[in-house]
Amino acid sequence: MMKLTDKQLARYEEDGFLLVENFTTPDECDALRERAAELVAEYDPSDYISIFSTHEQTRTSDDYFLNSGDKIRFFFEEEAFDAENRLRHSKERSINKIGHALHDLDPVFNHFSRSPKLAALISNLGYKQPLLIQSMYIFKQPGIGGEVTCHQDASFLYTEPMSVTGLWFALEDATRENGCLWAFPGGHKHGLKSRFLRAEGGGTRFEVYDSTAWPLDELVPLEVKKGTLILLNGLLPHMSLVNRSPRSRHAYTLHVIESDCHYPADNWLQRAPGMPLRGFKISDGW
């Protein structure tokens, strides 16, 4: 069972993030990568094409994206297409991410996401009845892996009170060259800057509480080895830069919330009534 030390918990409380090396075994990393490759191989892009971008997120929030909270859907890199809207590379080299219910709908990702060691770690963080709300497989493709601008996870998965925690699993080495995460140590102590909401009449909008610029000069790189878990406080400002290197930077991410916290109906990510959120050990009330 995974148990964080008092020193690790104190570091997480202070910085808002924590690197847990060797949390995931090489075989577990490879199994997730193989399953993601199978899903992409089965995906037919002629059905629908949706591009993921954090630069104009309200403009690119189409219905395919907004209705993905209880589905497995595929989103392309912003630079995947040429001027004639044709793929510049193969389908496998063009997908930005898969989201947002892999942990519920795919048996391989479900098994990984609800492992006893992960359940124990979440309990160790103080969760009483945690719910898995979102999952994403992120490819960060070679040469075109898009930038993720500085943000807080609580802006997108807001609860009252704030309860979201991000779990970021490195399935390959993540370096400055291939687009590792960058984070603002202690930045989670400065409050929520905005919320990403469903807009009346369709689409999305940002509700801004603090319009001051992010202190990008204070961010530090989180370069990690394959198998590392990065814990991210929901209020922690973090980002990743574009990947111009010849190497991909695959990662799997999960987000957890506390079940007794209020999850507003205007949050962008919603589910159909027939597919409620689930946690870990159902038999134990999770």
User: Could you tell me the CATH number of the domain that includes residue 267?
Assistant: 2.60.120.620
The verdict on residue 224 lying in a domain is: yes
The verdict on residue 282 lying in a domain is: no
pLDDT of residue 54: 60
What is the C-alpha R_g of the chain? 18
Buried b (16+ CB within 10 A) or exposed e, 66-79: eebbbbbbbbbbbb
pLDDT of residue 281: 61
The verdict on residue 138 lying in a domain is: yes
N- to C-terminal Cα separation, the chain: 17
Q: List phi, psi (to 5°) of 191.
A: 90, 170
Residue 222 in contact with residue 230, Cβ under 8 Å? yes
Query: What tokens were used for 257?
Result: 């919330």
pLDDT of residue 61: 65
Tens digit of each residue's pLDDT (9 = 90 or more) over 171-182: 999 999 999 999
The verdict on residue 278 lying in a domain is: no
pLDDT tens, N- to C-terminus, the chain (286 residues): 678 999 999 999 999 999 999 999 999 999 999 999 999 999 998 766 776 666 555 444 688 999 999 999 999 999 998 888 888 999 999 999 999 999 999 999 999 999 999 999 999 999 999 999 999 999 999 999 999 999 999 999 999 999 999 999 999 999 999 999 999 999 999 999 999 999 998 889 999 999 999 999 999 999 999 999 999 999 999 999 999 999 999 999 999 999 999 999 999 999 999 999 999 863 443 3
pLDDT of residue 46: 77
Number of domains in the chain: 1
Residue 167 in contact with residue 253, Cβ under 8 Å? yes
The verdict on residue 113 lying in a domain is: yes
Query: What tokens were used for 165?
Result: 């925690």
Query: What tokens were used for 204?
Result: 């999305």
> What range does the domain containing 45 cover?
6-271
The verdict on residue 184 lying in a domain is: yes
Evaluated on CA atoms 32, 38, 39, 41, the torsion sign reads positive
Cα 75 to Cα 48: distance, rounded to the nearest angstrom: 10
The verdict on residue 169 lying in a domain is: yes
Residue 92 in contact with residue 41, Cβ under 8 Å? yes
What is the SS3 string spanning the chain? CCCCCHHHHHHHHHHCEEEECCCCCHHHHHHHHHHHHHHHHHCCCCCCCCECCCCCCCCCCCHHHHCCCCCEEEEECCCCECCCCCECCCHHHCEEEEEECHHHHCHHHHHHHCCHHHHHHHHHCCCCCEEEEEEEEECCCCCCECCEEEECHHHHCCCECCCCEEEEEECCCECCCCCCEEECCCHHHHCCCEEEEECCCCCEEEEECCCCCCCHHHCEEECECCCCEEEEECCCCEEECCECCCCCCCEEEEEEEECCCECCCCECCCCCCCCCCECCCHHHCC
The verdict on residue 280 lying in a domain is: no
User: Which residues, at least 6 apart from 1, have a Cβ–Cβ distance to it below 8 Å?
Assistant: 116, 117, 120
Evaluated on CA atoms 156, 247, 36, 33, the torsion sign reads negative
